[in-house]
Amino acid sequence: MASVSRTVRFPLSLEAPRRELRFLFVCGLLLLATVSILACGARPPQLQSISVSPAIVDGQVQFTATGYYTDGSKVTPLSALWFTIRPWYNAVNPVQFFNLDETGKASCNGNAGTFSVVATAPIDPHYPLSQTNSATPQVSGMAQLTCQ
């Protein structure tokens, strides 16, 4: 009877763990690069529109602004600046046809007619409302007050 010699081979050599480590290292770098690129391109939600309610009212009322953002979210009540006619009008024309305070509370003061009430806020939700001016990118919404 002849003797048979067998050679036992292991499927993995010493080179295999190094290749696996290199592969994992490259995959990790690609994942890190992808996350960094996506994070840089992500924009925070911005104010897209404002609605003011009630839309039309007689006499005295507390108006409320609702802000709608680019990510689909909404904020009620939205902190806003309140104006008559249009934003920044008060600085040019100090005549007030009705009373309107900084919270959106309006009341007639003896003048008859239908008047516009405007709420405005910066597009950037992190921009301080107190620093908003006519050069600040902003969104406005409008309602009407009827005085008799």
Q: Above pLDDT 90, what percent of the chain?
A: 42
At 1, the pLDDT band (50, 70, 90 cuts) reads low
pLDDT of residue 134: 86
Residues 71, 132: one domain?
yes
Residues 119, 69: one domain?
yes
Residues 122, 104: one domain?
yes
In this predicted model, what pLDDT tens digit does every residue of 3-12 receive, in sequence order? 666 665 555 5
pLDDT of residue 82: 92
> Containing domain of residue 107, as a range?
47-147
95 part of a folded domain = yes
Q: State the Cα–Cα distance between residues 94 and 108, nearest whole angstrom.
A: 16
2 part of a folded domain = no
pLDDT of residue 110: 78
In this prediction, residues 33-60 reach a mean pLDDT of 80
Distance of CA 123 to the CA centre of its chain: 7
Indicate the number of domains in the chain: 2
Q: State the Cα–Cα distance between residues 113 and 109, nearest whole angstrom.
A: 11
Residues 101, 135: one domain?
yes
pLDDT of residue 88: 47
In this predicted model, what pLDDT tens digit does every residue of 74-128 receive, in sequence order? 999 999 999 886 444 555 555 567 888 999 999 888 778 888 899 999 999 999 9
